[in-house]
Structure formats: structure tokens, C-alpha cells
Amino acid sequence: MTRPSGLLLSLLLIRAGIKVHLLDAAPTLDDQPRAAHYGPPAIPDLRRAGILDKIKSQGMTLNTMCWRKLDQTYIAGMDTSETLSNDPEYGDVRTVSLALQTLDALMLEEFEKEGGQVSWEHRVLDVEQDDSKVSIKVQTPDENEKTIEADYVVGCDGANSVVRKSLFGEDFPGFTWNQKQIVATNTYYDFRKFGYHDANFIIHPEHLYMAAIIDNKGLWRVTYGEEPGLTREQLLERQPKKFETILPGNPKPGDYELGCSGGLGITGGFVDVGCLYDCLYGIWTHQADESILDLYSEVRRQKYKEIIDPISTENFKRVFDQDPEVAKEKDHFLVLCNKAAEDKDFARQMHMVRHANSSIYICAKRTDESAQASFGIRHDFTQYYRKDRGKGKGPLIVDDAKSDFSVEHIEEVAPTGAD
């Protein structure tokens, strides 16, 4: 299963003149629907990879979102067509949508146009390193084993990452939400006739869901909460009744066209690899040494602990862990959304931060924190480049010896449900 974050990193690196070899255990790209919406913090990296305009031409730009009760009663919302279309630093950073399998194909095509090497059906078995290189043992399509060497290896190989296990063993912290199982579908259904915005979040302790437009052909991402522990077969069996219960108009199966289910979340991964690209590019052009990678690890973990994880928790709980009848008055964020809807100056002061694994915006708890909160999950690693090497002056000419610098980017198939 080729990971979109790894494809984006590979594209950024190869367009900077750095050799990249992509290894993937799968025989081809995964065509199952997964993520579909890419939030403001990811837009600068999609733009500098040279694919943002193509995403917009094939997909959509989202402007409006809201929170509703199950009976479609409007609670709060926002329109970002003005507040995010002209950011002073990044320009137009409105959320864009394109089915991830389509985006993957686009990035792979651009990567191969640049001369990128892809080895399909190469399963990583082990990773070792010494002071000068990394050695990757892989199983090839004919089931033989071979070793590939590179200066750096980037593991984007999902839940069962061999690269991650080689670094941390089995001890990798985390937790699983036990309250709800999240199911994502691609669905053709006319939500517009019910007055739905580009993205809609329904607050309900049992029947929470999100409906967000993906393209201009009427495809919507419908993501809903289910009982934990259900098998894929059980989810498919329960889906028609679930849609009839939660969606506007109480549709029967013949009233909509349903795609497959998949995982959620990609914005944070794009930001992660954008930052990593800056670090690797700095090393390649002699503007930084390898200590910048230690700093990268420290900063990205800090971003996760202080921003991504707590805000993800807050956003997830917002749609099922509160009473929708009083959310308009008691949910601090929704109160601010309604204030911003009536006051454009206040709306501009609210620096919206797109959470890495969600389609929900959050803002600073106080407007005087907004300068620090804006695009909080991003970080400029070029500020740590050596001052005498011309930060901001574009790609540097490097000596021929450095042309052997290479990156092996590893992708592997993860079990069903891993994101």
C-alpha cells in the first residue's frame, strides 16, 4: 500500500535533484478510497511539489463547513472563502479535496516523469545502519532476498513498519479509541438539496457523522461512528440501515451510490514530510548537518504532543461527547465560530489551524494567542541552515561527489484498517 506522505516526500526530493528509490511490498498502487481532504497546513507543501493546481483542477476547493444536530438543525459554522484565500505568508490555503487514490496516481506519475525509480513487490525484511550508510534487506517478487544500500531510509510503511520496529522494537506508544469505530465511505448522494455546506459535522452521541464534498461530480465522503469491534462484513450489513437513520431524507440503498470504506487523515503526514524534506535538502546542499534530523524528531514529537493529539481528541469528542441541544451555547469553539460569522474582523483575527487527522478547524483559546497558533503544526527547519549558505536563495550547486546522496523510501502493505 503506497503511502501518500511517502510519495509526496519522494516527489519533493527528486525535484530538488536528490536520487530516490521507492520500495513497495504491493504490486501496484492501492485504489481503495481513503483520505480525500487536505487542510491548510498541507497546502504549502503540495504547492511547492508542483501538484496543487492539478489537485484543484481535478478536485475542489472547500469554503464552508458547519456543525448540525441529527435533524439537520444548524448549530454553528464558518465560511473561509475570505479568511483563508489570501494568507499573508502562504497565499490561498483553503482546504482542497481529491480522492486519495487519484492523488497517489498523480504523484506517482510526476515522480516517474522526474526519473524516479520504483520497485514493486519488494517487501522489507530488515534494516541496519552504520556510520556511513543504511542497508535494507528486501524480499523480491521471485522470493529471493537482496540488500539495497542508501544514505538515508525513510519508512512510510504504516502500522507494521519494519523501519519503525528496527528503531524502537515493539515499544511504540499509542492508544486506540474504544468508544467508537469510524467508518469512511465515498457516496454519491444529493446533500445540496438539503442545504448542506461543503463539510458538515453532525453532533450526536450515537449517530455522529461527517458529510463533505469531494469533487464537482457529486461524490461525498460520508464518515460515521459505529459500535467498536465490528468486522468488515458486519459493517457492510449494517450500513444501509445506518444511512437510512442518519442521512437527510432517510435514503434507501437505491437512492445513493456507495463506494468502499477506508481510513482517515493525511494533512499531518504531508506536513511531517514537508519538514523532513527541508532537513534532507539542507544536508544535501551542505547547509545543515545530520543534527538537524535530531531536531526534526524533537520538534515533530512536540507538535504531536502539544497540538495534534490534544486537538484531535477535542475534535473527535466534539461530535459525540456533548449534548447537541446545548452545544451552541457551551462549546467554546462553536461560540467563537458564530461570533466570527457575524464579525469579519474577528474572523480574520481567528487564526484557523487545520488539525492533522481531522476535517475540523480549531483556533486559539484567546485571540491574542492567534499569532502563535496560526499553522501551529508547521515548522520552518530552514531557519537552522548555516547562515553563510544562502537561505532563501534557491537550490545550490553542489560538487559531483555529493551526487551520490540517495534516499530509499520504503512503503509496505499494512493490515486492513491501518492508516
Residues 308-347 pLDDT 10s: 778 777 878 888 889 999 999 999 889 988 888 888 778 7
pLDDT at 206: 93
pLDDT tens per residue, range 125-152: 999 999 889 999 999 999 999 999 999 9
Contact 28, 120 (CB under 8 A): yes
Is 372's pLDDT higher than 80?
Answer: no
- Reply yes or no on whether the pLDDT at 162 is more than 80: yes
The whole-angstrom separation of Cα 138 and Cα 136 is 6
pLDDT at 371 over 80: no
**pLDDT range class, residue 404, cuts 50, 70, 90:** low
Quick: pLDDT tens for 228-254: 888 889 999 999 999 999 999 999 999
Answer whether residue 225 shows pLDDT above 60.
Answer: yes
pLDDT at 391 > cutoff 50? no
Contact 7, 274 (CB under 8 A): no
What's residue 261's pLDDT? 45
Confidence of residue 393 (pLDDT cuts 50, 70, 90): very low
Domain boundaries, the chain: 4-174+266-411
Q: Residue 276, CB half-sphere, CA atoms under 13 Å: how many?
A: 25
**pLDDT of the residue at 286:** 96
- CB-count burial class (<10 Å; 0-12, 13-18, 19+) for 419: middle
pLDDT higher than 50, residue 397: no
How confident is residue 410, by pLDDT bands cut at 50, 70 and 90?
A: low
Task: Calculate the average pLDDT of the chain.
Answer: 83
Residue 224 pairs with which residues in a beta bridge? Answer: 183, 209
Other CB atoms within 10 Å distance of the CB of residue 90 = 16
Q: What is the pLDDT of residue 389?
A: 53
Asked if the 4-174+266-411 domain carries CATH number 3.40.50.150, the reply is no
Q: What percent of the chain has pLDDT over 90?
A: 54
SS3 209: strand
Helix axes 291-303, 267-284, angle to 10 degrees: 160
